[in-house]
Structure 1
Amino acid sequence: MARASRLTRLVLPLSLLALLISIVVATAFGPVTLAPIDIGRVLLTHVGLGPVDPFVSAATDGIVWSIRLPRVLLGVIVGATLAVTGATLQASTRNVMADPHLLGVSAGAACGAVIATVVAGNLAGQWTLSLFAFIGALLASAAVLILGGWRGALTPSRLLLSGIAVAFTASALANLMLYLGDQRAASSVLFWMLGGLGLARWSLLGVPALCATVGIIWLWARSRALDAMMSGELSATALGIDTARLRRELFVVCALLTAVTVSVSGAIGFVGLVIPHLCRRFSGALHRRLLPLCAVYGALFLIWADVGARVLIAPDDLPIGVITALVGGATLAVLVRRL
């Protein structure tokens, strides 16, 4: 028993080490494969820990620093955020199939992206797509809150049913606008709806990184409350927890986090559904351990899913949602058989 406890405590440090190694190694993959040593030299140069290396070409420097590293780091941010929100929603709704996309947030963001592409054009420059996607996600979240809490408490079943209703409605509106609008825009919107990290730039990372850090810390600070809610409404109420208020707060934070990530990466599914189940096998049910491990494993999963998206049909990009759905679906099938 003591040995198992020590192994559990070692999982997170080892996973963090694997994440750091993966960030460097994954940056090497793409249409042009680079040596990890060259990537290390570029990173040391740009962070001020080494002189400009004459053996690293300007093209290699540009590929690593301006294109691939921001993309890998965006994968870290999005993967960690989706995995943590998925674990939180599964606890707050006591539903093992709960997922950020069941809240209708992704469908709302997709609808906003379609409006940006078909109607708004280049209204806000390079931020147009992300801005409209974020607005769509927030509107969808507000609709779910209103429907779920209409004339009653925000219960788990009402929350999920409201999310499904909003998701179907938003998807129908997006498909209608695509059908009636410019058909040339359909391909770009379809790629965005399936998810991708191709928009990653250093200027785009600041807001998602800040929101993810603050949001994940806020959720982790409520680990004990999440543990109590997993035990049931009566147990949580007996501990003095206002379950309706806490569930509403958790939903709002999770919806905002999902909206931010979807607005910069598109609708990437299965991360928030599958990763928490995998992590529970290493960390147990306590959210004090589960949430940090979900953040690391979600980041690892999305980093390597993006590597597959880059190399499988290089030099073109495969939508990352295809990779996550294939891997996530197979993993979920294995988990279901073992339950």
Structure 2
Amino acid sequence: MSIVVVTAILVVAAATVAVLSAAIGQFSASPGDVIASLARAVTGQSDADADRVDAVLWSIRFPRAALALVAGACLAVAGAVMQGVFANPLAEPSIVGVNSGASVGATLVIITGASIAAPWTLPLAAFAGALVVTLIVWTLSRTGGKAAVLTLVLAGIAINAVASAVTSFLIFLGDASSREQVIFWQLGTLAGASWGAVAVTAAVFAAGFVGSVMIRRQLDVLALGDSSASASGVNVEWLRVVAILLACLLTGTAVAFGGVIAFVGLIVPHAIRIAVGPSHRYLVPLSALGGAVLLGAADIAARTIVPFADLPIGIFTAVVGGPLFLVLLRRTLRGQGVR
């Protein structure tokens, strides 16, 4: 499919999802109300009859819609980068322990109350936890200088179990209020979206996206193998360190404010790769758009499927991503002669 066509489809889909996300909810607002409110904000005009609508949209709906789009973009770009650096279509952040590590760090600051100190406390703790766990999984899965598929998955399962146990222990140590907050957060939710969370996530996404674009050519060369990449002048170890840092930063921040939302980094890059090919020149930016669309649509579903209920958003990404992961795992192992 033409790259221009795919880009146009994703841009239109992202805009549509953003408008619908702001319009749909318990408080009735039409897409026209949403667009009119945005127009009033841009032009500086005021409308006394629309003050109530604007108050709801700008204090609740717009921050949530924006956070869904930016967090989805973070998760998808992290998945694209991680798959590229591991040369492995299964290397999604949640599979290799990034989400569980981020969960440990975020849970620690929530339980201790440190999350209220500053807006950056939660994402920094999530990033640190994600980085530590990912490095452990990567180290354990390396065989002959590269991370094999089977050992990567097995190491990820083992470390995810350990990280989940640590998270459970931290929850046990917390009080009733912090326990409820952590448990609901672990299921994935954007209910607590605020402009502060959007600002932090957007800033991290901008930095992570720029970094990912800067290493896109090296990731393409790395697909040829470590030896070929080194012969082409790519510092393979340096590239892996930078890529892992970027993936952890993006995922850790998205998890910090959106909870544990799995499989976005698996579904979106895989779909984009099928549509436009494996080149990271297009894979990275289009994955950002695709991730925004997927998480925005999942958030709409979470708020509308059950009337007057806000379901955990992680349910919907897991329903799609779980079966897809099993299909990809089976195909990959067959390709390597493992039955």
CA–CA distance in 2 between the matches of 1:301 and 1:171? 26
Q: 1:138 aligns with which of 125, 128, 133?
A: 128
- Determine if contact 1:83/1:295 at 8 Å carries over to the other structure: yes
Counterpart position of 2:11: 16
CA–CA distance in 2 between the matches of 1:220 and 1:73? 22
Q: 1:125 aligns with which of 91, 116, 141?
A: 116
Counterpart position of 1:94: 87
**1:192-207 correspondence to structure 2 within 5 Å:** 192-207=185-200
| CA apart distance, 1:45 | 1.3
Instruction: Check if 1:189 corresponds to 2:179.
Output: no
Instruction: Check if 1:216 corresponds to 2:209.
Output: yes
With structure 1 as the length reference, what TM-score do the two structures score?
0.86
| CA apart distance, 1:153 | 9.3
- Percent identical residues: 35
What's the Cα RMSD here? Answer: 2.9
**1:78-117 correspondence to structure 2 within 5 Å:** 78-117=71-110
Deviations 1:109-152 (A, max 9, x none): 3223433444x24x453758x72463144044135436745999
Instruction: Check if 1:314 corresponds to 2:307.
Output: yes
Q: 2:294 aligns with which of 296, 301, 308?
A: 301
Deviations 1:201-235 (A, max 9, x none): 11222121011012112211222111111122222
- Determine if contact 1:86/1:98 at 8 Å carries over to the other structure: yes
Secondary structure of 2:94's counterpart equals helix
Secondary structure of 1:226's counterpart equals helix
With over 3 angstroms needed to count, the CA separation of the structure-2 counterparts of 1:154 and 1:195, relative to structure 1, is farther
- Determine if contact 1:82/1:272 at 8 Å carries over to the other structure: yes
Counterpart position of 2:282: 289
Instruction: Check if 1:53 corresponds to 2:56.
Output: no
Q: Point out the more displaced range, 180-189 or 265-274.
A: 180-189
With structure 2 as the length reference, what TM-score do the two structures score?
0.86
| CA apart distance, 1:270 | 0.7
| CA apart distance, 1:172 | 0.6
| CA apart distance, 1:99 | 0.9
Q: Counterpart amino acid of 1:174?
A: T
With over 3 angstroms needed to count, the CA separation of the structure-2 counterparts of 1:276 and 1:143, relative to structure 1, is closer
With over 3 angstroms needed to count, the CA separation of the structure-2 counterparts of 1:330 and 1:170, relative to structure 1, is closer
With over 3 angstroms needed to count, the CA separation of the structure-2 counterparts of 1:147 and 1:103, relative to structure 1, is closer
- Determine if contact 2:95/2:157 at 8 Å carries over to the other structure: yes
| CA apart distance, 1:191 | 1.2
- Determine if contact 1:143/1:166 at 8 Å carries over to the other structure: yes
Deviations 1:146-176 (A, max 9, x none): 6745999974348776655543322111112
- Determine if contact 1:41/1:53 at 8 Å carries over to the other structure: no
- Determine if contact 1:31/1:315 at 8 Å carries over to the other structure: yes
Counterpart position of 1:39: 34
- Determine if contact 1:154/1:244 at 8 Å carries over to the other structure: no
Structure 2 unpaired stretches of 5+: 333-339
- Determine if contact 2:97/2:137 at 8 Å carries over to the other structure: no
- Determine if contact 1:283/1:293 at 8 Å carries over to the other structure: no
Q: 2:237 aligns with which of 241, 244, 253?
A: 244
CA–CA distance in 2 between the matches of 1:66 and 1:256? 27
- Determine if contact 1:115/1:132 at 8 Å carries over to the other structure: no
With over 3 angstroms needed to count, the CA separation of the structure-2 counterparts of 1:138 and 1:166, relative to structure 1, is farther
Counterpart position of 1:65: 58
| CA apart distance, 1:98 | 0.6
Counterpart position of 2:20: 25
Q: 1:275 aligns with which of 265, 268, 284?
A: 268
- Determine if contact 1:140/1:166 at 8 Å carries over to the other structure: no
Secondary structure of 1:97's counterpart equals coil
- Determine if contact 1:148/1:159 at 8 Å carries over to the other structure: yes
Query: Between Structure 1 and Structure 2, how many residues are aligned?
Result: 329
